A and B are shown apart, each in its own frame.
Chain A
Amino acid sequence: MTTQSVAIANHRFAFGYYRQTFWNWLIGTAFFLGGLGAGLFVLALLTDHTAGMLVGYLIVVVGKNTAHLLFLGRPERFWRAAMRPDRSWIARGIWAMGFFAVSGLILLLPRVLGPAWQLYGWLNGAATAVAVLSAIVIMFYDGFVMNSSPGVAFWRTRLLPLLLLMYATLGGTTLSLTIRELRGEAIPGFLPNLEHGLLVVNFVLLAVYLARMNRSLPAARETLRQWLSGPYARVFFGLVLLVGLLATLLLSVVQSRVQATGLVLLIAACELTGDFTLVMVLLKSGLFPRQTALTYSARGI
């Protein structure tokens, strides 16, 4: 009889991989809302869609920030998180959200309240540039936040910020289409094609990400095993791939022919479910390495 320890340690005195439990659903919600809202805002700004800009802005400024504040152990000190933008991606994200909040408001006020609030000349151009750049940072910075923490091997790849950026773009595209359909507004011709393309690209990116993890550290490979054949397999294959990507793609192709409002909502529900599930599974499945004596790790025990 072999007395091998189980893969996941059930307490800190036991040998095994330790599950990441510090960043929970609140941080996952903050990451999800940040990417979604910023992605929607950028697309809406570039296609001159006020409703999309407003919804995207509120998702980030209200939704993401609320989730962050609820998560912090000492939310009254939140401003300290901006202290070290030279070294910390969290601090850079705080600055990006600050710039986004101000520049987004500058751009939205004339659209919502009237031309009296319009800034002219280079100021409006500057606000636009700052809004776009800061929104793009918000779309990918959480990937770098996760990536720059060496404790969890499954997050240690430059592919993670890229993956989250692409998912944020996809979420923004889907939500932009949904808002336009619900309001009966004209849809730019490229948007449905962009959505289809992003769904395929994200599938490929996911595959590349997982292939990359297969060559990574043991903790990352164990997480990969859990995604493909372990406790997260059903959620990954079912919600992230089937619902979030495949069903969204098929329904979206049908929608481009049928143009049904109910279908639009279903597409949004599928995509957002897959998007949110991916963020949550990334957080929950993160594993810290096993701490073991060198002689045993050298023997593969």
Chain B
Amino acid sequence: MARYGMVIDLKRCIGCNSCTLACKQENGTPEGVHFARVVTREVGTYPATKRTFLPVLCNHCSDAPCAEACPTGATYIRADGIVMVDREKCIGCRACNVACPYMNRHFVAKGLLMGYGTDGLTPYEAIKFLDFEEGTNIKCTLCAPRVDQGLEPACVITCPTDARIFGDVEDPNGKLQRLVKDRKGWTLSPEYNTKPNVWYLDE
């Protein structure tokens, strides 16, 4: 069975945040919650400064610390490697939030599902927020409903520079492994031993 993951080419990423918005639209996440986001920073010494962009999302780690820490089994790893949350089992202890070194878990605090505006929920929010429950944890699902239909995650198809490549990380002949080998791909914070399945290719 395939083990899904992603390769992100930092040479192609232009920091447009289309992935952030696509994810927001696809998942209908509440205010302040971004399953996918782009960390921006300036490096260098004036006048030789530049901005760098690092798109981050849940790494769907093979040794997911959030799944290990969860006392109820609400966080689990599917056979295809996607880390999911069963909200019916979640008690909101936030052990998963603390366990994740990448800050890619999100707690739905009380009042967060009231919507952005002051006139109640929009029709879009009313539908999308049904997927969430106050007091529980939510996270990136690699657009599991889309993946199950043979489609790619929203952030991948939206990227205008094709900086995000989705596929089977364990296929030795697949595009992901070839890219990682050829361009010496790396993962975030390997010292935390979580075995992430999101790889980065340097600029």
Contact = CB atoms under 8 A, between A and B. Distances in A.
Interface stretch (A72-80, A114-122, A130-138, A260-268): A72-80
A167 B89 CA distance: 34
B38 interface: yes
A77 B133 CA distance: 13
Contacts of B170: none
A212 to B, nearest CB: 16
A215 interface: no
A5 B42 contact: yes
A150 B41 contact: no
Interface in B86-101: 89-95, 97-101
Interface in A113-164: 145-146, 148-152
A75 to B, nearest CB: 8
A81 B72 contact: yes
B65 interface: yes
Interface string B52-67: 1010100000000100
Interface residues of A, number: 47
Contacts of B97: 22
A12 B100 CA distance: 14
Nearest to B185: A294
A254 to B, nearest CB: 41
Contacts of A77: 72, 89-91
A291 B202 contact: no
A88 B92 CA distance: 15
B42 A88 contact: no
A15 B41 contact: yes
A7 interface: no
Given A73-B135, A151-B65, A83 B72 contact: yes
B70 interface: yes
A183 interface: no
Contacts, number: 151
By size class, the interface of chain B is: 35 or more
Given A13-B40, A78-B91, A3 B188 contact: no
Contact of A293 (B52, B137, B189): B52
A289 B189 contact: yes
Interface stretch (B139-147, B174-182, B190-198): B190-198
Contacts of A148: 68-69, 99
A291 B189 CA distance: 7
Contacts of B99: 148-151
**Main secondary structure on A side of the interface with B:** loop
Contacts of B54: 15, 291-293
Interface in A1-52: 1-3, 5, 12-15, 18, 20, 22-23
B148 interface: no
A149 B69 contact: yes
Interface stretch (B102-110, B116-124, B158-166): B102-110
B41 A5 contact: yes
B91 A150 contact: no
B5 to A, nearest CB: 17
A289 B189 CA distance: 8
A102 interface: no
Given A5-B41, A22-B97, A148-B68, A294 B46 contact: no
B203 A293 contact: yes
Contact of A3 (B43, B107, B200): B43
B14 interface: no
B49 interface: yes
- 7 nearest A-B residue pairs (beta carbon): A73-B92, A73-B135, A15-B41, A90-B71, A88-B71, A80-B72, A22-B97
9 contacts: A3-B45, A5-B42, A15-B54, A22-B98, A73-B93, A74-B135, A80-B74, A151-B99, A291-B102
Interface of B: 10, 34, 37-46, 49, 52, 54, 56, 65, 68-74, 89-95, 97-103, 107-109, 133-137, 186, 188-189, 191-194, 200, 202-203
Given A80-B72, A150-B101, 14 more contacts: A1-B45, A14-B39, A15-B39, A22-B94, A23-B94, A74-B133, A77-B90, A77-B91, A80-B74, A83-B71, A94-B71, A150-B192, A150-B194, A293-B203
Interface of A: 1-3, 5, 12-15, 18, 20, 22-23, 71-75, 77-78, 80-84, 87-88, 90-91, 94, 145-146, 148-152, 217, 286, 288-289, 291-296, 301
